[in-house]
Structure 1
Amino acid sequence: MRRHGTVGLMAALPLLAFCSLLAPARVQAQGDPAQSQAELAQAQPEEPEALTPEALAPEAEASEPESTEPQSSQPDPLDADQAPEPTPEPAELLEGQPEAPAGVDTTIPVSPPQTAPLTPGPGSLAPESPTEPKVLISEVVVEGLDGHPEAERLELAVYDAMVVRPGSRVSRSELQTDLAAIYASGWFSDVRIQPVDGPLGVQLVVIATANPVLQKVEFSTADIKLPPEVLEDTFAADFDRTLNLNTLQARVQELQTWYSDQGYSLARITGPSRVSPEGVVELTVREGTVQGVEVQFLNREGSATNDEGEPIRGKTKPWVVTREISTKPGEIFNRRNLEEDIKRLYGTGLFGDVKVTLRPVPATPGEVVIVLGMVEQSTGSLSGGLGYSQSQGVFGQIQLQDTNLIGRAWDMSVNFTYGQFGGLADISFTDPWIKGDKYRTAFRARLFISRDVPQIYQSQDNGNINTASDFYEAPSTSVAYNINSRSNPEGRRFDSVNEAEDESPGNSWFDYDGNSIAIQRVGGNIQFVRPLNSGDPFKRAMWNIVLGASAQEVRPINFAGESMPFGVSTNNFDGDEAPIENVVCVAFNCASSNQLVALRVAATRNTLNDPRNPTSGSFLSVSTEQFVSVGPDSPTFNRLRGSYSFFIPVNWLKFYRGCRPEPGEPTDCKQALAFQVTAGTNIGDLPPYEAFCLGGSNSVRGFSDCDLGVGSSFGEATIEYRFPLFSIISGQVFIDGGTTFGTQSNVQGNPGGLLNKPGSGFSVGTGLIVTTPVGPLRLEVASRDFSGDWRFNLGVGWKF
């Protein structure tokens, strides 16, 4: 017990008189002495989740008869100009009050009013009536804390909360304000103020019951998202100390913040629902459960019904929508997960808008139904255009496509392309997610027929290899003769190579057609793509595995569609005769057609931060494709290929305003150093049209398509610096290098050597990239080995 102050200048008031003045009442209900600490801690004024004590309103007081004296006749006890009045006698204080029966204790603890502030400031006293009498307090004593481990600190908390001091005159309302302030300190479960007639005057005895020492905090529900270590860390500073309800409320808010930061925006923590005398605090958490997911189709105006009041019927199957939602019925609602789900729905390209509504379930508080309002967009399209490529020349294209075939998100397209040097017709089908597959496996299939002029047999400056329908090579000859020319040992033309062979078997003969070599392919392929996501279809998987198979028939032809299994280099060929090495087989085994059947396995690893214009991360791709023989003109070989790209963010050039933001503005500067290394090799009986080509807009850019080299193996490397210039225009500076590792002669007929392709080289250049709705357009200029020979490229998208 600690005493504060003693005043002995005034005679002590009788106890009964002060009790009548205070007309006190207990704060805590008297009828249930076993009332739990939790009831006091959980109660709060006004706010449903506050952790303040229970209502502080005093119990009903006995009505007092109105005073017959006029208000003006009462002097103000705080008015300095008034002469001090003598302390009221007990008979005056009790005037008009019923007398207490003999033996009955008239001392009743004072209760703070319901409307009293929880944290009154120093000196903030409750309003008082001018007629409210005041008495002089000689001493303030705190009791009830003896033996408590923090008794001294708690006593100081009582004194610090009170405005009343020894030597001051106080009224009943002022005591109620002090009582409310003691409760608002958060340290006590019960507080009473009792006046005692002491030797020097009226003593105020504050009887305080402290909250228990905090030992443990637990939740009423065992299976919750909050990790135990977070709970322990939050209350670590409070264990083994007296429970403070204000601090408890702050800690609960910290736990609530953790839930919000983790995306559990519907979670609510309340309590304590129980506080045991042993110091165990029990909290209640309602995390917010998803009862179900509903799909609702909306029109473009956002209405769920048409003009006749009927529900909008969507084309898309509802399961196509719900399979993109990671939150399942019975799971805890998470805002972050739902945001990712919405991104995936937009990523399907099937919906123009997605509206999300959380509908509470009245029968089960804390549960919601996720209602997805889907605004479908048109998924069918008919498009066309003109373009140019080195293999097809100027070409026209028309495409019919539906990306939501029969509402199952299937993508099917029919494409037809026709150009100067070839054409293409194909039908492709893609199922982006096989229904019911937890690994999110995709299936793709394609049927095609194509004709193009392979750049393997073309050269920008050193002639071409043109078509020949037949060839006979006589032993020990170095020259072959064109049967369509008279300049030969027989001095006449022949109708066929067989005729020339019969008449002059000691000479080599070929039937020169003179057109560019075209390759016709008819076939199809299928492939399965599976992300390595451990069976979680919503997990971002860095690795993807591809399994595929293909089959095609390949025919070398001329523009008329006639079979042309041979070719003749125009170098050292005057139309009459050509060196024997200048006559080559275009197809494997010099056949009129080849059958290629292959199985393919590939793997990719993607950590890029942006699939379109990355500035950090890497991309790795490795593959092997095994071709198996199905006949005498069907080769067996294996193709291995690998590529690795990585990006390093930099901020060197600051032309674009986003690269030099003002203080407080975010940085918007997609600037990076980009590196790529690519290599491949073929092992086995390689058809020449399947050889690797070096040079072109997606290879070594200072060379025309396939003009650097043709080999059975190759390697390329690129270093590129990318930087923004304006919001939609970026610049780049690059250096490319490539080599066939001396394998040009390994290709059947050595087309690269016949056309004097160097086999290795490098280029440096620069370019502009313009962002358009159809993708980035790339305009570049690059040198050829610093030779001063510059080449312009026009491409779509970044090189890598």
Structure 2
Amino acid sequence: MRNLAATVAVIYIMLAMVPIAANAQEAPLITNIVVKGNEQIATDVIAAAISSKVGEAYSSEQIEQDRNAIIDLGWFYDVRTMAEPEAGGTKVTFMVTENQVISDVCFKGRALRGGKPIFSDEQLSEAIGFEPGHVRNNNDIDDQIQSIQRLYYDKGYIYATVPDVVTEERPAADGAKFVLCFTIAEGLIEGIEIRGHRKTRPHVIRRELETKPGQVYNAHRVQRDVQRLFNLDFFEDVEARTSVGSETGMLILEIAVRERRTGVASIGLGWSSVQKLVGFADVADANFHGTGRRVSLRVSIGGREGGEIGYYDPWFTANHTGLNVGLYNKRTLRQAFLSDGSSFLYDEKRVGGSITVSRPLSGFTTGLLTLRTDSVQSVDIEEEDVPPEDLERLGQKATVRSIGFALVNDTRDFIRAPTRGGYNRVSVEVAGLLGGSDFNKLGGDVRRYFKVGDKQVLALRLIGGWIDGDAPFLEQFLLGGANNLRGYEEDQFPGNKMLLLNGEFRFPLGNKLTGVAFVDVGSAWGGAYAEGAGLGDASLNLHIGYGAGVRVDTPIGPIRLDLGIGEDGAQTHFSIGHMF
């Protein structure tokens, strides 16, 4: 019995010692770490990514982490590990298979424009920093994709992506070579849809778009298209949207418009210091029957009597040649100022017309050719006789037949109420080639608009002119009044030379109401009438006017009311339409 108990005790003790012996068995030590298979990438570079060290206990988990760390270097498409027992421990081997050595790059999927891609192979290669003869690094691929997309994005191609990058093996004289090929989905426009139009015909909208189906979407170009449509003044709002096309990398461009009323029949009143109360009746449509053509008829009474008819077709021909025709027969009460400070009233009678042909020369520049014929005469005021000696100062009836040339560069964002950009115009008018008065007139107009804060705008204008030859008095430059030099009488400063600087600070006051603070500096001077008849300044004498005003937005244009302060006191100016 005692022997049985002793035997059981021995067996129990032996069983209890088994796990202790197992725990006491330690993992083998790493006696050597070897890297094999690398040809281009230095062993030291690979070894630096390995955390396991010789002399440490072998850990399969740590070896797997080391394998992943080597993969993360980016130069290898396969990494394997092997643990082999050897004297004193375990030898660990990392077997690496390098990516291909890249000899060249290629770029696929690009659209051609005029037989050329948007960016050349050289431009794209420079963007990704490609150098031949290096092992492909998968980590660099992500950076290179970002570089390509950033190159496109910075130029407005915001939908360009790189969906695929592969290495292609191609035959070469000295054996196969490997080419890294990027597939670029640039964002082709599959179609353009017009939404929201009711009156305006679709082709009137489409013809204004530089963006066409089959082109790569460019945000800068689309924004210019939106501004161009908005500047037609047919629409309250214009919006460009995109949706996914029928295939990967294709998209649909949607132009959504909200039309404004373009047909106007109105009766109104105006006021000036000379003409006093002026009445008018207007019938006009800036988008006649939705064709984009403008027709107008105006009849005036009071200080301005007569009628005007206008017709404008911006697409008179399919190549965007515009035609503008105007006919008029009007009589306008004016005031002439003598150099001694006195003045007298007279009537200007003008009958004639003009034809202007315009053609875009580039994205922002337009050329214009104008033929004009005018019969202009200074006559008695109907209610009272003007002294003959005063009428003689102004000259008698004159005929003007002229041809004019002009270049206009217009980068304003919105013509109706610009907040940034500029406007430049140079013009020359030659009269007398077909008889009548013989003179030449040169002119220049430079405007700049700067956004200040969220909604305030600083607007500047500099205009100048010069007349050479025998121009009638009423063909001279006439400064003073609501449209140029505020704070002075209408047409107070006549001359065959003119210089004027206008500055306005515009700020919103509420819905459809804008406030303005302004300064005007300038004058007109010189010419035969100043020197011989005493009409105006014989030499340059700059005059300054300043003040404030309000603008009310109406369907017929902004109504302007300004209080200007000049050298002789204050003047109130009331007018319709933009000053600049």
Q: TM-score range by the shorter chain?
A: 0.7 to 0.9
Does 2:299 align with 1:416? yes
Q: Distance in 2 between matches of 1:168 and 1:293?
A: 68
Deviations 1:709-733 (A, max 9, x none): x55x233344x56556876434334
Deviations 1:613-656 (A, max 9, x none): 678867343321314566xxxx331241323546698xxxxxxx
1:71-97 per-position Cα deviation (integer Å, ceiling 9, x unaligned):
xx99999xxxx765355xxxxxxxxxx
CA distance change for structure 1 residues 245 and 582 in 2, over 3 Å: closer, same or farther? closer
Partner AA of 2:126 in structure 1: D
User: How do 1:157-556 and structure 2 match up within 5 A?
Assistant: 157=49, 159-160=50-51, 166-171=55-60, 175-221=63-109, 224-236=117-129, 239-276=132-169, 278-297=177-196, 314-354=198-238, 356-362=240-246, 364-390=247-273, 392-419=275-302, 421-437=303-319, 440-456=320-336, 462=342, 464=344, 517-533=346-362, 539-541=363-365, 544-554=366-376
Aligned residues of 1:547 and 1:600 also touching (Cα < 8 A): yes
Do the aligned partners of residues 413 and 763 (structure 1) sit closer, same or farther apart at CA in structure 2, a change above 3 Å counting? same
In the superposition, the TM-score normalised over structure 1's length comes to 0.60
Query: CA contact under 8 A between 1:416 and 1:425: conserved in structure 2?
Result: yes
Q: Which runs of 5+ in 2 are unaligned?
A: 1-14, 170-175
Distance 1:417 1:230, change over 3 A: same
Tell me what 2:441 maps to: 640
Given the superposition, is the C-alpha separation of residues 558 and 703 from structure 1 closer, same or farther in structure 2, using an over 3 Å criterion?
Answer: same
Q: CA deviation at 1:527?
A: 0.6
CA distance in 1, matches of 2:474, 2:239: 53
Partner deviation per Cα, 1:146-198 (whole Å, 9 max, x = no partner): 553523213333x14xx687532434x66545434432332212212122232
Contact 1:138 1:203 in 2 (8 A): yes
How far the C-alpha of 1:779 sits from its partner, in A, is 2.7
Q: Tell me the residue number matched to 2:517.
A: 731
Letter of the structure 1 residue corresponding to residue 439 of structure 2: N
Counterpart residue type for residue 190 of structure 1? D
Q: Deviations over 1:468-491 (max 9, x none)?
A: xxxxxxxxxxxxxxxxxxxxxxxx
Deviation sequence 1:667-726 (CA, Å, 0-9, x none): 776457x57352322523x44444443544445555423344x55x233344x5655687
Deviations 1:337-382 (A, max 9, x none): 22222222222222344454534443x4322332334443332222
Q: CA deviation at 1:392?
A: 3.2
Tell whether the 8 Å contact from 2:481 to 2:489 is kept in structure 1 after alignment: yes
Mapped to 2, the partners of 1:553 and 1:735 lie a distance apart of: 32
Tell me if structure 2 keeps the 8 A contact 1:601–1:624. Answer: yes
- Would the alpha carbon gap of residues 351 and 323 (structure 1) be closer, same or farther in structure 2, given more than 3 Å must change? same
From 565, 568, 580, give the equivalent of 1:782: 565
1:218·1:281 contact (CA, 8 Å) conserved in 2? yes
- In structure 2, the CA distance between the partners of 1:798 and 1:791, relative to structure 1 (3 Å rule), is farther
Does residue 490 of structure 2 align to residue 705 of structure 1?
yes
Taking the aligned partners of 2:70 and 2:343, their CA distance within structure 1 comes to: 101
- TM-aligned CA distance change 1:647 to 1:460, over 3 Å: farther
Counting aligned pairs with the same residue, the percent is: 21
Residue number in structure 1 paired with 2:544: 764
**Equivalent residue for 2:36?**
144
Q: CA RMSD in A?
A: 4.0
Deviation, structure 1 residue 528: 1.3
In 2: Cα distance, 1:372 partner to 1:701 partner: 42
User: For the residues of structure 2 that align with 1:520 and 1:228, how far apart are their CA atoms?
Assistant: 67
1:716 matches 2:540: no
Give the gaps of 5 or more residues in structure 1: 1-72, 88-133, 299-313, 465-515, 534-538, 570-580, 650-657, 660-665
CA distance in 2, matches of 1:259, 1:378: 39
Equivalence for 1:490: none
Using structure 2 for the length normalisation, give the TM-score. Answer: 0.80
CA distance in 2: counterparts of 1:676 and 1:778, whole angstroms: 22
Q: CA deviation at 1:742?
A: 6.1
SS in 2 for 1:282: strand
CA distance in 1 between partners of 2:83 and 2:446 (Å): 85
In the TM superposition, residue 443 of structure 1 has moved relative to its aligned partner by 1.5
- Classify the secondary structure of the residue corresponding to 1:315: coil
| Residue-pair matches, total | 545
Greater Cα radius of gyration, structure 1 or 2: 1
- What secondary structure, in the 3-state scheme, does the structure 2 residue paired with 1:259 have? helix
Quick check: 1:604–1:620 contact (8 Å CA) kept in 2?
yes
Deviations along 1:243-274, whole A, 9 cap, x unmatched? Answer: 22122222212222322332223322133222
8 Å CA contact retained: 2:473, 2:529:
no
Contact 1:137 1:170 in 2 (8 A): no
Give 1:207 deviation, angstroms: 1.0
Q: Contact 2:465 / 2:498 at 8 angstroms: preserved in 1?
A: yes
CA contact (8 A) 2:497 2:524 kept: yes
Structure 1: how far apart are the matches of 2:41 and 2:85? 30
